Amino acid sequence: MGGVRTALYNYLIAKKNGGDFILRIEDTDSHRFVPGAEEYIIESLRWCGIVPDEGLDENGRVAEKADERNPHAPYRQSQRRGIYRKYAEQLVAGGYAYYAFDTAEELEKQRAAAEGAGQTFIYNALTRRSLRNSLTLAPAEVERLLAERTDWTVRFRMPEDELVQMDDEIRGHIEVNTSTLDDKVLWKRADELPTYHLANIVDDHLMEITDVIRGEEWLPSLPLHFLLYRAFGWERPRFAHLPLLLKPVGNGKLSKRDGDKMGFPVFPLQWTAPDGQVSRGYREDGYFPDAFVNLLAMLGWNPGTEQEIFSMDELIQAFSLEKVGKAGAKFNPEKAKWFNREYLRMHSDASLAALWMPELKDKGVETDENTVREIVALIKERATFVSDFWEIAWYLFKAPENYTEKDAAKFWKAENVTMAREALASTGSAEEMEDYIRAREWPMGKVMNCIRLALTGSGSGLGIADIMRFIGREEALRRFHRAEERLII
RNA sequence: GCUGGGUUCGUAUAACGGUUAGUACUCAAGAUUCUCAAUCUUGCAAUAGGAGUUCGAUUCUCCUACCCAGUACCA
């Protein structure tokens, strides 16, 4: 959800300003490759109606070859690996970065030692002096290690004591002293791949990105990114850091487990993890994509008016980063359902009937689309999802097999049954029946509920007139006799 | 721990120095009805705490508390 919301806000800003929304796959961590994840992202965006202007080829796959539509291809960073090394070396040459020869084990040892002393090891201006890198080693030694070893990295040379002044579109002015920051790894010789920080800045520059809108978890690396742009001498984009999506109860970021635990999806589409774990999706749960987009848009943003229902076009019109909040937004599953209810009501009876038909066919119901449409008109206000329809209206298609005990005890009483039997038998329609009951000053509620029990098996549901219109007088009589046979007074 | 960010009804949020602090979801009550749902009406419910600036602070400043994020050769 969080990822889709970030994509949505990016998309809205791009469209509002007449810009392009670009899809780029940041897969520079070869150890974390997840099969199917890329396809999942593309399918999710498509379901939401978020269409990338750039990044996908004519088959809807991540573009690998440049053409008019995709001038910056390839869009997968793992396929762009060739271009990053020279930028890393450009930084080294300019004195903004250096080669580091520390092994993972050595660094681990340093961290453990620091932790033992109750401190945190930071690779920075202070500690780098006593570590093995191109700043401390003789040039000849550096050349030798560069040539002989394949496990070195390029690290950013964080300035020692400088106040970085930053601006965020949502948070305003932010200042951080570089002495609290560390020398981040930018490029790894081992897999000849950059880390996120380098790849992101290089690609944003190459792809002419003007606006970076991402989650708040990136705020701590903003100073690094500012410094990186400065080191390259590039104009930097605008930055906006979105508040996090929080779990409905308790504290912390919304996670997969919350959804499973509390009965709501956290994924746009159903997702099967590599270990076989299945996470439910909004699509599979019966949410309309525009309802999902709408509820996501309202999580952290507001239009400044009292309007809550927005189409994608309306969102594009109304959206602005100024109205994005700063605090994390707790997700409220109840409100999510309310959005879907609103969208369900906005759908035409015909389109809802079409969505329901497959389930009816599955259930072996023989009916025509016209009838289904009329039924939908009757029940849509009572439903949140199309999947609620059957539960609400099944008795229009088949007779009840059993009767709710509590309701039977309440309504199936001798005097009621006698009146109901007579009213039903002596009249031709529900309207006539009502007149009949009224004329005799019989208790309308008791008689009607008695009939309802026979027709639906319970004491709640649609109006008797509506039910009888669909099942017909004959079927109503049949069900009533059946109830008389089966129910003890 | 350190660094950064955040804090208005239970939840999402409005009020960009002056309001009886508004709206929506949820919840409760009433109306309506043949029941239930829907609908309509009403109600419950908040500026984290403390200083300061000001004629006046939800709004500006500082302190405290609490929450979140980051602190990887992950993104």
CA of A241 to C1' of B5 (A): 10
- Do the domain assignments include residue A399? no
Does residue A225 contact residue A231 with C-beta atoms inside 8 Å? Answer: no
Q: Among A241, A264, A291, which residue terminates a domain?
A: A241
CA distance A150 to A481: 86
- Do the domain assignments include residue A400? no
pLDDT tens-digit readout, A22-35? 999 999 998 999 99
Residue A59: per-residue pLDDT? 96
What's A304's domain CATH number?
3.40.50.620
Residue A7: per-residue pLDDT? 98
Residue A11: per-residue pLDDT? 98
Bases on strand B under 7 Å from any protein CB: 1-8, 10-15, 22-26, 33-39, 67-75
Residue A27: per-residue pLDDT? 95
What's A438's domain CATH number?
1.10.10.350
In this structure, the answer to whether residues A311 and A410 fall within a common structural domain is no
CA of A280 to C1' of B33 (A): 39
Catalytic residues of A: 256
Residue A113: per-residue pLDDT? 87
In this structure, the answer to whether residues A93 and A219 fall within a common structural domain is yes
CA distance A298 to A311: 12
In this structure, the answer to whether residues A429 and A281 fall within a common structural domain is no
Q: Is A291 exposed, middle or buried (0-12, 13-18, 19+ CB in 10 A)?
A: buried
What's A143's domain CATH number?
3.90.800.10
CA of A340 to C1' of B24 (A): 14
How distant is the alpha carbon of residue A452 from its chain centre?
42
CA of A13 to C1' of B58 (A): 29
- Do the domain assignments include residue A224? yes
Residue A489 has pLDDT above 80, yes or no: no
pLDDT band at A194, cuts 50/70/90? very high
Cβ atoms < 10 Å from Cβ of A350: 14
Say yes or no: ipTM exceeds 0.90.
Answer: yes
Residue A263: per-residue pLDDT? 87
In this structure, the answer to whether residues A196 and A321 fall within a common structural domain is no
In this structure, the answer to whether residues A203 and A88 fall within a common structural domain is yes
pLDDT band at A488, cuts 50/70/90? confident
pLDDT band at A120, cuts 50/70/90? confident
Share of chain A above pLDDT 90, in %: 92
Q: Is A391 exposed, middle or buried (0-12, 13-18, 19+ CB in 10 A)?
A: exposed
Mean per-residue pLDDT over chain A, rounded? 95
In this structure, the answer to whether residues A122 and A199 fall within a common structural domain is yes
Q: Which nucleotide is nearest to A300 (CA to C1')?
A: B12
Using DSSP, state whether A478 is helix, strand or coil.
helix
Residue A437 has pLDDT above 80, yes or no: yes
Residue A252: per-residue pLDDT? 84
Q: Among A212, A241, A270, which residue terminates a domain?
A: A241
Site of tokens 């003890």: A488
Give residues 23-82 of chain A lying near strand B (Cβ < 7 A): 26, 28-29, 31-32
The reply to whether the CB atom of residue A404 sits less than 7 A from any atom in nucleic acid chain B is no
Please provide the DSSP assignment of A115-132 as one string: HHTT-----STTGGGGSS
Residue A258: per-residue pLDDT? 85
The residues pairing with A346 across neighbouring beta strands, listed in sequence order, are: none
Q: Whose CA is nearest the C1' atom of nucleotide B6?
A: A327
Residue A14: per-residue pLDDT? 98
Residue A253: per-residue pLDDT? 86
Read off the pTM.
0.95
Residue A101: per-residue pLDDT? 97
Range of the structural domain that residue A367 is part of: 348-386
pLDDT tens-digit readout, A77-99? 999 999 999 999 999 999 999 99
CA distance A236 to A374: 58
pLDDT tens-digit readout, A60-82? 999 999 999 999 999 999 999 99
Q: A229 vs A36, A199, A232, CA distance in Å?
A: 33, 12, 5
CA distance A27 to A10: 20
In this structure, the answer to whether residues A299 and A311 fall within a common structural domain is yes
Residue A285 has pLDDT above 90, yes or no: yes
